[in-house]
Amino acid sequence: MFPKLDPILHSELRLAVMSILAGADSADFSYIRKQTGATAGNLSVQIDKLSAAGYITVEKGFKGKMPCTTCQITPEGQNAFKNYVDALKEYLSAGK
| pLDDT digits 0-9 by tens, 33-89 | 999 999 999 999 999 999 999 999 999 999 899 989 999 999 999 999 999 999 999
Can you point out the beta strands (E) in the chain? 27-28, 56-63, 66-73
pTM of the model: 0.92
| Total domains, the chain | 1
Query: Which residues, in sequence order, are CB contacts of 89 under 8 Å at separation 6+?
Result: none
Residue at 95 is within a domain: no
Structural domain harbouring 65 = 12-77
26 lies in some domain: yes
CATH of the domain at 62: 1.10.10.10
Residue 59 identity: E
Neighbours of 35 (CB within 10 A): 13
Q: How far apart are CA 13 and CA 56, in angstroms?
A: 14
In a domain, 85, yes or no: no
